[in-house]
A and B are shown apart, each in its own frame.
Chain A
Amino acid sequence: MKRHLISAADLTRDDAVLILDTAEEMARFADRPIKKLPTLRGRTIVNLFFEDSTRTRISFEAAAKRLSADVINFSAKGSSVSKGESLKDTALTLEAMGADGVVIRHGDSGAPHRLATSGWIGGSVINAGDGTHEHPTQALLDAFTMRRRLVGEEGAALDGKRITIVGDILHSRVARSNVHLLSTLGAHVTLVAPPTLLPIGVDSWPCEVSYDLDAVLTKSDAVMMLRVQRERMNAAFFPTEREYARRYGLDGERMARMPEDAIVMHPGPMNRGMEITAEVADSPRCTAVEQVANGVSIRMAVMYLLLGGSEPALSRDDTARTEENN
């Protein structure tokens, strides 16, 4: 494993499978009465959030705490950052406080990369979403969810699985990370969106592109619906919300045409009635809530592997100690 997790493109197939397998081990602890592991005791993790995202922040926070790390939450709002402090000075401050790992969410694409490569800090950097670039732990938790539902076997990848990602690809860091990771894991990825919401240059990505959801649905093992912001309408990306929902939204009728075991995924938060109807969102085929739970396991695995070493997640000693603690 590398020292940082900036982009899903940096993960080899072995790296990715190791993270998924480690997350399975972590998940088993989530079912125990005491969910804590001592692995990162005495290590400090900073959640550096320049964008509001309570969901992602608490997922990382829960993951770090279950590994016994000390967690500092740093929100840019109301802090020195809102008074004009630069990313560099914020980073130097965190470094001086002895951060072993920095989880960063930032509105600018590339900010985590800058943090990791500029020499400002010595600790590990985990990208928790940067601009419209990447969100690698989201892709990992998506892959984890798919492997559980569609493969059901540890040590495996997603070879031959047909994954369809639908929605605002242009502005989606989730889509970028998923295209990299899922193709690394052997899946066939198809992106579906109106042409206005696909980036120029998408044809160089390791995936297929379609403008026609209905044509792709019947050949999908998983369909991932991305959130579409209503504001995009005002920038002429599509004519109206209703037209978008009709052409690219997933309703019960469309879901019924998917293969029997196919799942519906959503990274949340959902726009019910826009990209997904309530009927689909609340159906047993929709894994949205499961994805949230899996997110904690994945983030535990990532922090463990980046900060704790690359030996098996739970050494015999760790297991013994944990059981003593019980």
Chain B
Amino acid sequence: MTEQNKTLLRGARILGGEPQDVLIEGGTVAEIGQGLRAADAEVVETGGAVLLPGLVDLHTHLREPGREDSETVLTGTRAAAKGGYTAVHAMANTFPVADTAGVVEQVWRLGKEYGYCDVRPVGAVTVGLEGKQLAELGAMHDSAAEVRVFSDDGKCVDDAVIMRRALEYVKAFDGVVAQHAQEPRLTAGAQMNEGIVSAELGLQGWPAVAEESIIARDVLLAAHVGSRVHICHLSTAGSVEIVRWAKSKGWNVTAEVTPHHLLLTDELVRSYNPVYKVNPPLRTEADVMALREALADGTIDCVATDHAPHPHEDKDCEWGAAAMGMVGLETALSVVQHTMVDTGLLDWAQVADRMSFRPAAIGRLEGHGRPVSPGEPANLVLLDADYRGQVDPAGFASRSANTPYQGRELPGRVTHTWLRGRPTVVDSKLVGAAGAV
């Protein structure tokens, strides 16, 4: 370790509270108080910036191995650090699919080697994401990558028996199945949310019921076998109602929402600009409002980015030919501030809960999602919440630029991120971390 062994943050507002000094030493939060002194510490004058625990993403597509033209573990974790994340869960739909201990260990090891952000791979539920045969879930769990979350994300585990077995099987090691809820027959060829806009645009609809029917089935299955299930990127008001009902029964159901589903609606598809093409699709204003309310009242546990990088050519085309997905790591906190904090729906302590504590708990991820208290790991993010600026993908660390927010003014800017006390972002710029672990 170098001279950054000790760092003193002056006047940081922990979880948005009153300004205090925070001393980071040896990878942990050493001391919190007023007027702290440490002669040999690097001092950061925070100017009253908000200090949060490092964010944890349950849903990131790092694309490596296989689609390094859109993202790599290096570029994706650099983007994560810039967005204030200290841990990401890397989705399994790579080439080859992350359905063996070998692939998940490779991804995990790359993350560790680069050192920008902890990478916890998600293991595929079924071999090749084919939905037919369970992957070796236990081997992935027991591997060095310590897989706890399993998902065929991108595809739904639509076979009820396979889903039941997966839910049952992971009970042996407290794993969780994260379901991409999409009834495939109801969504064959689907291009956007089914409703008023799709009717006018002549684009094939992706009906809300295709998501809701799978969620309804899966919460019942989870209850029946006594396992826990996590719902990926919940997008409709009806899904919220089902999850709320399941939780009222005491069933072990958790759910995530993406930043883009908290802000954008299917009206944007009228431009036919494929930057708005995403799966699940952008829904209606009523859905957006229901999702915000559900995130505020805890029905939806957490925000997950579904960061889905795509190369330029896969978006610079006609709608039908375009890939589905949006990058999100570098804008997530700003979108949450805009939609949830500036609207008064969440305070910063609750943001820490929805973007750090709860996702870490769902993923059984140790060392992350911890309170900002003496003795805790110094996984921290400092946010200039007063900043306002336009989103410019030219400044992204991600290899891809498929953001729906280009040119949009959003609040908040991550100025610093620390991973176990070591800065990965300083003054909103990445600092060399490669090789340092």
Which A residues have a C-beta under 8 Å from some C-beta of B?
9, 86-88, 106-111, 113-114, 117-118, 130-134, 173, 176, 199-202, 204-205
Contact = CB atoms under 8 A, between A and B. Distances in A.
B194 A200 contact: yes
Interface stretch (B217-225, B256-264, B315-323, B362-370): B315-323
B174 to A, nearest CB: 41
B321 A201 contact: no
A109 B319 contact: yes
Given A87-B317, A110-B272, A201 B196 contact: yes
**Which of A88, A114, A134 is packed against the most chain B CB atoms within 10 Å?**
A114
A262 to B, nearest CB: 28
A284 to B, nearest CB: 34
Given A200-B195, A204-B199, A108 B318 contact: yes
Interface in B144-184: none
B319 A202 contact: no
B207 A200 contact: yes
Contact of B198 (A86, A87, A88, A199): A199
A207 to B, nearest CB: 12
B202 interface: yes
Interface in B310-341: 313, 316-321
Contact of A88 (B196, B205, B317): B317
B434 interface: no
12 contacts: A108-B319, A109-B319, A110-B203, A110-B318, A113-B272, A114-B317, A114-B319, A200-B199, A201-B199, A202-B199, A204-B199, A204-B200
Contacts of A109: 191, 201-203, 272, 319-320
B317 A201 contact: no
A176 B195 contact: no
B321 to A, nearest CB: 7
Contact of B272 (A114, A199, A201, A205): A114
B197 interface: yes
Given A132-B204, A176-B200, 15 more contacts: A86-B317, A106-B318, A107-B320, A108-B321, A110-B201, A111-B320, A114-B273, A132-B202, A200-B194, A200-B198, A201-B194, A201-B196, A201-B200, A202-B199, A205-B199
B205 A133 contact: no
A109 B191 CA distance: 10
Interface in B254-294: 271-273
A87 B320 contact: no
Contacts of B207: 200
Nearest to B194: A200
- The 8 nearest A-B residue pairs measured at CB: A201-B199, A133-B202, A108-B320, A110-B272, A132-B202, A199-B199, A109-B202, A201-B196
Q: How large is the interface on B (under 10, 10 to 19, 20 to 34, 35 or more residues)?
A: 20 to 34
B156 to A, nearest CB: 21
Contact of B195 (A9, A86, A106, A201): A201
A87 B318 contact: yes
Contacts, number: 79
A86 B317 CA distance: 7
Contact of B202 (A86, A87, A173): A173
Interface of B: 191, 194-205, 207, 271-273, 313, 316-321
B205 A134 contact: no
Nearest to B313: A86
Nearest to A86: B317
Contacts of A117: 271-272
B316 A88 contact: yes
Contacts of B203: 109-110, 131-133
A133 B201 contact: yes
B319 to A, nearest CB: 5
A189 B287 CA distance: 31
A9 to B, nearest CB: 8
A131 B272 CA distance: 13
Contact of B319 (A86, A110, A200): A110
A217 to B, nearest CB: 25
A326 B26 CA distance: 95
B323 to A, nearest CB: 13
B47 to A, nearest CB: 42
Contacts of B319: 108-111, 114
Contacts of B191: 109
Nearest to A201: B199
A113 B194 CA distance: 20
Which of A110, A133, A201, A204 has the most chain B CB atoms inside 10 A of its CB?
A: A110
Contacts of B321: 86-87, 108
A9 B272 CA distance: 15
A113 B203 CA distance: 13
A131 B320 contact: yes
A200 B204 CA distance: 10
A309 B343 CA distance: 50
Contacts of B202: 109-110, 130-134, 173, 176
A131 B271 CA distance: 16
Contacts of A202: 199
A176 B319 CA distance: 19
A88 B207 CA distance: 30
Among A107, A201, A205, residue most surrounded by chain B Cβ atoms (within 10 Å): A201
Nearest to A108: B320
B286 to A, nearest CB: 14
Contacts of B194: 200-201
Contacts of A110: 201-203, 272, 318-320
A241 B203 CA distance: 26
A48 B204 CA distance: 24
Most buried by A among B313, B319, B321: B319
